[in-house]
Structure 1
Amino acid sequence: MDEYCDVLVVGSGGGALTGAYVAAREGLSVTVLEATDQFGGTTAYSGGGMWFPCNAVLRRAGDDDTIEVARAYFRSVVGERTPHELQDAFLDNGAPLIDYLETDSNLEFQVLPWPDYFGSEKHARPQGRHIVPKPCSAKRLGSLRDALRVPLDAERGEQPPPDKLAGGQALIGRLLTALSEQPGATLHREAPCTDLLVEGGAVVGASTTRGGKPVRIRARRGVLLAAGGFERNAELREQWGVPGDVAGTMGCPGNTGLALRAALAAGASTDLMDQAWWAPGLTHPDGTSTFSLLFSGGIFVDALGERFTNESWPYDRIGRDVLAGIDEGTLHTPFWMIYDDRTGAIPPVGSASVPLAEPGAYEAAGLWHSAGSLSELAGRIGVPADALERTVARFNRMAASGTDEDFHRGDEPYDRAFVEEGGSTLVPIERAPYHAAAFGLSDLGTKGGLRTDGSARVLDAADQPIPGLYAAGNSMAAVSGTTYPAGGNPIGASMVFSYLAARDMAGTGR
């Protein structure tokens, strides 16, 4: 071996850094391997939300939720798709994790009301169970500032990196700061995990490359894989049948499945491998389709010129309706958002995650169309004119009545969360010229990965833990199964299972 540590952490997103911090704080020596040249993973692009029922931050704001009610909600949404042991480990350890983190002054949180994503379920919370890190100055990172992955508007646009960190930037910044103050923690960039080292059926370390040279690291207590999914690997997407393509993912560049392949070679088992965190994505002239939400108008239509979803639903639910239409043969990409001219030709999209190009570029690429009539617009986007006219006429009648009889748009709290008070989610399409914008299928990353138990120990095909191997985040098969119960579920679960893994390796676990 070239190097030794107690705990080896692969990845540097919110979950990986949480696991590294907890292990170091528990007195273990920790080495972090990040495959790219920047720390933060996909978390650094995100809003940094965490779904932790009944945590102290919510309690201080007057929250009266109970863990029994939260469990009933999660069970009703996820069902039996994942083991109850796994679900309970997530639900029962979010609040203790926040208690643990808040004893460090570097780690501060605040409430951001964000409704649960299945608002019709009996135990859903209209205000959510959602917290975010408090914003902080980028200066607190010191020499680590340039190592923090920048947000998407800086990475894919021309915005400068922010001086004040918020959302996922703040979460990664705060965790890096806290970790840098722990003795025995070493962080490496441009150090991919190429193989796991196995002795007698136990994982005892990993191989990486640093500066072009191979390095073998022995981990005395274990290896935590929290390196994201494999959404950036077209070959693996095809192998596992993940819909969409690399051009539609929001995952960071390092999410190519290297750690997953290493674990499979060590005998790990997997689940949910054809799944991702889905979203509709506005399509751009460069061919990408990016995670889009906060629609203030418009309707989506399929290849038949008909509506197929509640456009105000949470993004994963819309994405799954897109997939259903593709499976049924009634929808292909691009599909179209139809809207009128009340706010001009730019689509009524509150966030496309990245800065928009000039309107002319979308028009030249055939992605945005305008016409004086719906019939003419239908011809330009290739859908039946009579069907589009009927669809819009029906929608306008429902908008006038205030009730969406087809898809119940506006019925759930999330639908209404971003509408001005007294406003409606049903905005009629009646002012010419009429417009259409192309959308594709986007994702926030794959959610299939390594099967684990409630302590984040990776399981083999016989349901036995592989000694020394742990997984969390999108490297782990998602605790939420095929659903997306609430905002903050992906990052929250990643942090909880990394916390449980670190505590197990330290001998202070559940």
Structure 2
Amino acid sequence: MKDLQADVVVVGFGAAGACTAMEAREAGAEVLVIDRFGGGGATAMSGGVVYAGGGTTVQRAAGVEDTVDAMVDYLRQETGGAISEETLRRFCAGSADQIAWLAERGVPFEPSLCPYKTSYPTNRHYLYYSGSELANRDIAPPAPRGHRTRGRGTSGKLFYARLAAAARSRGVRVLAQTRAVRLVTDESGRVTGVEASTLAGAPAWARLTHRVLHRFSVKPGLYVPALGRSLHRPVAWIERRFGRPVSISATRGVVLAAGGFVFNRPMLREHAPLYRGGLPLGTPGDDGSGIRLGVEAGAATDRLDRLTIWRFITPPAALQHGVLVDSAGHRICDESRYGAAIGDAIMRSDKRKAWLLVDREILAEARGQLRSQTLWFQRVQASWLLRKDRVAGPTLAAVAQRAGVDADALAVTVKDHNAAAAAGAPDPAGKAPDLVRPLEHPPYSLIDCSIRPRMAQPAPMLTLGGLVVDENTGQVRRADGSPVPGLYAAGRTAVGVCSNSYVSGLSLADCVFSGRRAGRQMGGPDADRG
């Protein structure tokens, strides 16, 4: 294949790559995007939720009041210093515009507010509390900020499809089935292009097989990683056998938007060895290759030890009235928090084991909510929790013995919880008063919420750290703070808004925010030209 050239070369065609490409193209740059597979990455596998607030058109249509200050105050706790205060405020102040920008490019949203706490709403609702806002109401007035793309099921596929179509319609060139191998630099160290391996000239059967096998390996890989790796081996073989080198020059520079490294087991063992038992959320393209390319060009990294691992208690919403304890019988956290916060708390708990204690009334209410509050995959998981992963007993001591939980400590935990509930006093774990109920109606149940590999109750995880970038431009930085000329990064390849902790929609929102930032810089009059 002959060598290629563009003003801007983007590595990766997920949300971050598509938004980068569109902004650069709309500013007048010639843009070429390369993707190892067909595009989409973890974005297409996601729920299609964008975290946004401060008074978006969707919030206003739903009658929701929200302010930029409230959004900043809440997210300050979640971001934990991963970005500066100035960048956080800029992200929040531009949030409403971001939803409008996506809508103009065909991403559909809807102001149907979910009336109960859930990890992901059904097809009746598309605006919901997607984080721990209700659990942090003492910090900031809570508001629902999870803007789910309007589409049946998990709507990340539709979200990505609309972005990809918008990018192509604006003249962005896309070279699929092309893997970046290394960055090209000139004598000064400026990044001037990419050396890649492409299947563009491979036999038609090889390209088709590569595309089909990759597609079929992704979903099984989420639930059974070993099966996903097995299905993907022929894909890698086709790349080795039929891939041909191609040089792509970038007159303005390169943007790395190739995802994280959750599918790179050596990197996980090196940087986050405690995160075992989670199932990687992404595709084999999330192998850290974008981060590797940046490091080889001199870039610094940060927060590679930060992963998010999810253990959702809801739906059904009634289960947040229970008490989550570890094997020692001690309370783990506020049960109304977002699944990533619960997962993080379980990872730090005794033996990474956790059980949710409920009584007869809460269990009956949860069963009654099962059909109305869940999509099919949530129904399967919740049904398994309530039937197969539950032990019961007529007393606290009996149920503790069956689960292997310290009975004496559990009794003290429940006593403190019930006393606070009866007196209207603050909950020991900080749960909102309207969610606190005394547990006093036997029989009692302990539901196993531990994090361990299992198909019925997967604990998805993804990486949050990446290359250090200038927060005003997205340009990659060296360890001494100096820029790497001609190199930018966005999405989960870079440190960003969600690099400390995760709530639903924050990664996609950061992909759009950081992608647009890099695209504007590369496409505008101030583009780095060395």
TM-score by structure 1 length?
0.76
The one-letter amino acid paired with 2:311 is P
Which residue of 266, 279, 284 corresponds with 1:248?
Answer: 279
SS at 2:92 equivalent = helix
Partner of 2:325: 301
Higher strand share: 1
Partner of 1:499: 516
SS at 2:278 equivalent = helix
Does the CA-based 8 Å contact 2:491-2:510 persist in structure 1?
yes
Structure 1: tracts of 5 or more residues without a match: 136-163, 283-290, 326-330, 417-423
Return the offset for 1:51.
Answer: 2.0
Superposed CA offset, 1:469-494 (max 9, x none): 1112211113355344x643221111
Superposed CA offset, 1:301-352 (max 9, x none): 1121121211111223323333443xxxxx1123222334554699998669
- Tell me if 1:439 matches 2:450: yes
Which residue of 401, 412, 416 corresponds with 1:390?
Answer: 412
Superposed CA offset, 1:26-70 (max 9, x none): 333333333345624245322422325344554566666554554
Which residue of 458, 461, 477 corresponds with 2:479?
Answer: 461
Partner of 1:50: 51
Which residue of 277, 284, 301 corresponds with 1:270?
Answer: 301
Distance 1:251 1:31 in 2: 23
Which residue of 259, 265, 268 corresponds with 2:290?
Answer: 259
Higher helix share: 2
- Tell me if 1:232 matches 2:263: yes
The one-letter amino acid paired with 1:507 is G
Distance 1:123 1:377 in 2: 36
Superposed CA offset, 1:153-190 (max 9, x none): xxxxxxxxxxx5764233212112212322242241x4
Cα gap change, 1:62 to 1:221, in 2 (>3 Å): farther
Partner of 1:210: 198
SS at 1:439 equivalent = coil
Distance 1:507 1:481 in 2: 27
SS at 1:49 equivalent = strand
SS at 1:461 equivalent = coil
Partner of 1:131: 147
SS at 2:451 equivalent = strand
Partner of 1:426: 437
Distance 2:316 2:521 in 1: 38
Distance 2:175 2:512 in 1: 18
Partner of 2:129: 114
- Tell me if 1:375 matches 2:397: yes
Distance 1:508 1:344 in 2: 63
Partner of 1:482: 500
Cα gap change, 1:123 to 1:449, in 2 (>3 Å): same
Does the CA-based 8 Å contact 1:50-1:492 persist in structure 2?
yes
The one-letter amino acid paired with 2:282 is G
SS at 2:310 equivalent = strand
Which residue of 192, 212, 221 corresponds with 2:252?
Answer: 221
Partner of 1:199: 186
Superposed CA offset, 1:356-396 (max 9, x none): 379789988xx543445433432333222222233334434
- Tell me if 1:34 matches 2:45: no
Cα gap change, 1:73 to 1:382, in 2 (>3 Å): closer
SS at 1:195 equivalent = strand
State how 1:112-191 maps to structure 2 within 5 Å: 112-114=127-129, 117-119=132-134, 120=136, 124-135=140-151, 164=152, 167-188=155-176, 190-191=177-178
Distance 1:192 1:66 in 2: 43
Range with bigger deviation, 199-208 or 67-76: 67-76
Cα gap change, 1:2 to 1:357, in 2 (>3 Å): same
Does the CA-based 8 Å contact 1:42-1:252 persist in structure 2?
no
Return the offset for 1:499.
Answer: 0.3
Range with bigger deviation, 388-397 or 339-348: 339-348
Distance 1:307 1:355 in 2: 26
Range with bigger deviation, 37-46 or 52-61: 52-61
SS at 1:244 equivalent = coil
SS at 1:16 equivalent = helix
The one-letter amino acid paired with 1:335 is A
Return the offset for 1:428.
Answer: 2.6
TM-score by structure 2 length?
0.73
Which residue of 321, 331, 338 corresponds with 2:345?
Answer: 321
Return the offset for 1:132.
Answer: 3.7
SS at 1:356 equivalent = helix
The one-letter amino acid paired with 1:310 is D
Does the CA-based 8 Å contact 1:46-1:168 persist in structure 2?
yes
Superposed CA offset, 1:80-125 (max 9, x none): 4533453344334434444544444x24434424376355466634
The one-letter amino acid paired with 1:124 is A
Does the CA-based 8 Å contact 1:13-1:172 persist in structure 2?
yes
Distance 2:131 2:42 in 1: 25
Aligned length: 453
Distance 2:437 2:265 in 1: 38
Does the CA-based 8 Å contact 2:394-2:442 persist in structure 1?
no
Which residue of 336, 341, 361 corresponds with 1:312?
Answer: 336
Does the CA-based 8 Å contact 1:272-1:448 persist in structure 2?
yes
Return the offset for 1:130.
Answer: 4.5
SS at 1:126 equivalent = coil
- Tell me if 1:337 matches 2:360: no
